[in-house]
Chain A
Amino acid sequence: MDALFAIAGKDFVISVSDTASARSIVRMKKNCDKTYKLSSHTLLAVCGEPGDTANFAEYIQGNVRLYSVRNSQDLSPSETANFIRNELAGSMRSRKPYNVNMLVAGVDQNTGAASLYRIDYLAAMAKVPFAAHGYCAYFVYSVMDHEYTEGLTLEQGFDIVKNCLTALKERFIVDFPDFSIKVISTNGTREYDLAEI
């Protein structure tokens, strides 16, 4: 039931995730952050089986950090995404695979280009301009399809986010308590308030 989507511009990515932690029909927590900072310029957003998501994301976080320490150099977003896909593909062929869907957002520090990767629980990966996971995808994809233009500005990106959230409020029976909106750009990661955008 998680809502997770992201929009990539030329040098930024906006990542939006809901902050509810739920079990069956009960909401356990209202302020749960479903994103993980992998490096100063890479963010991993997860949804899926609650235990799996945290466990797998922390495993990835640890390994990406280990790489940076060993090589005194961060993995680029594309390298990070490929590494995650590779790990998930390995897990998928084990006896107990992780059930995790992910969005990897980042800015390459060599080229300054932003990129967004969508990885699902079957370890299928695609580099995309915008992406969504879970039930919320049924609602926000049409909005993003309609409004996305290549090379959009941050403000235009926020407008799409607002329309996506409106669509979710209007049509989705699940009521989300709050959303965490993060922007990854060349300056690093910044969190925005709903009222700010």
Chain B
Amino acid sequence: MFHLSSVEKSFGGVRALKPFSLSIPAGETLAILGPSGSGKSTLLKLLIGILAPDAGHISFRGKEIGEGGLAEYRRHIGLVIQEGGLFPHLTAHANIAIMARHLKWPQAKIEARIAELCTLVHLPQDRLSHYLKELSGGERQRIALMRALMLDPDVLLLDEPLGALDPMIRYDLQQDLKSIFATLKKTVILITHDLAEAHYLASAIILMRDGGIEQSGSYQDLASNPATPFVRRFLQAQRGLALGRAGA
């Protein structure tokens, strides 16, 4: 689906991404892990074309991204960010329908698609008439997910989608996301710093550090065969937290 070859990016002389190569096959559920400053967000912005690489190429389905216009390309990508990025002046319904309206879908088609998505993400339809400030954090993320899925994109990009939620709502959404991914069979790229979440939701993991890939593979590959001391420490730290929580 995506192919990155020797992609580089610096900001004012500070290198955010080392020469970076990566292939993401269609239908894969990939988690990108790493501490803050490891280049995860830069990678995401490159993938949606908000940033352009200093060197190297990024292709989507064999074509350089942006070749047929970035706006058109982005309609194949659904993005959900932390806190949703929902528009406060629109109702949930208008947020979800904004692109479909812009593309002049017939009203009936819009309503049918929204009803379908409500079922998929487990959101009662009556929540749709509300504004952002009247919705809970979990509801907002479900609505953001609906907005991302509205045009039936090929790829779902999730940037710490559950990062700002409290643990119980987060747990519910993790369950729901897993079943949604299984239903849709789309290519999913999930950025997270939570190893357990990555393990639970993704089939493949990339662990990033200082703008490069430290190790990639399945959770088992990383756990049983850490490539560097950093990978081992990252895994230990995350497990240690989990154990500590269990013991309390």
Q: Do A and B come from one complex?
A: no
